[in-house]
Structure 1
Amino acid sequence: MQQPELGKLIAEKRKAKGLTQDELVEKCKLNVRTLQRIEAGEVMPRSFTLKVIAKELDLNFYERGVYARLKDWIGAGIKIINLKSTLMKKVSILSATTLIVLLGAFMFNFISGERSEAVLRKYIEQHNRNTISWFNSGKVEKIMAAYASDACFYRNGHPAYCCKEDITTIMQRAINTHSFKLTEIQLLSLKVTNDLAIEKSLVSSELSSGVIVKTINIQEWQRIDGDWLIVNDIDVLVTETVDSNE
């Protein structure tokens, strides 16, 4: 299901449940502007956002979408083939054609998937190295170039920020206070599925007091208009702080 039909469905379901936009975003932990743009059909929500909304409104967008695509694919296949032979011949040719198409699609996706993951991994590893240099030198605009306009930013023990402007402000504030500097970002894993990717990294930071802090950073990347951009950025503290001078 695409926009604007998706936005209309969400708005109708929300109203049917007697919820205002403010009430729904509070339940979903979203930015009200994000919901307004989704319901107006201006943006296509990310998978994470869609799952949260679906849960609160008792909707299953994914089954609806899969069914619609399958129905369209079958209909198109029947029109193209348009066989005028016996029923058995139709079934045999259609089965063979379908098998060839599926096998070809599988091989193409397998090869393309591995290639895409390798390319993205190289890009993310370079971006992580650059992020250390950019953050420590105060070049927040270069870091933010990798974020989507409606990206969400979550930090351990802090409120969520869900727009690029707010994330920029928070990051700039951290840089201006000189409270810590980044020392290492180690990529632990990367999982790529079509236009979505989940990066998991171990981030090491040194506080102004000399204490080392290690966190797990999980970033959800999405391919938008051909570019990979961060749509969710989450940090979780995983170790006790250690004095670097010890």
Structure 2
Amino acid sequence: MPNRLTAWIASDIVALTLREGALHVALVRRQAAAERGKWALPGGFLLDGESAEDAAHRELAEETGLEAAGVRLEQLATYSAPDRDTAHTTRVISVAWLALAADLPDAAAGTDAADAAWVPVEKALRMRLAFDHRQILRDGVERARAKLEYTTAATAFLPETFTLSDLRAVYAAVWGEDLDAANFHRKLTRADGFLEDTGEVRTGRGRPATLYRAGPATELNPPFMR
């Protein structure tokens, strides 16, 4: 008969937003003894009677000051390598989450973190993060990039109304590449249920720009590939 596994369950969050036109991730400087002082993704152990999703929302608020409202959260993957957390004598399994949101405030360290900050993703991917958090971050960023191909998730990074140029800036920041404006506008305005014309425009320098809102679709049809 196999030995029964004793393990702790944690929720870790890859929280992404756009700041100054670049994709950023929320990181916290660990205050707990395990990997103390290292930068890590927000996260922590589940409390008694708490779901992994509820723990993700709680830890995001406790460690960074970011509340659940306005954050699109989805499960990313489960990380269960036996040696992923050698700082604890009990095995630790992490349920990782991807959180996307627009116009998030400055990250503020809560009770469980010594510091919190929004860090450009390209910089964070070069940092020596605690545990296996750099791999989780890589997986989260790739999931976000893929979601922009097949779903309408790009609107999660935008306010309620936006222009096509705003939307193109999201794709450019998440994918890390410039996009041809004419081709982008033609394809995205033809996608079923992706965008709704508000009938309003944004004025400023140059030609007034049509304002859109997110349509009812959740999947991008046809897909818009990198």
Question: TM-score by structure 2 length?
Answer: 0.25
Q: Which has the higher contact order (CA 8 A, sep 6+)?
A: 2
Which one has a larger percent helix, Structure 1 or Structure 2? 1
- The structure that is strand-richer by fraction is 2
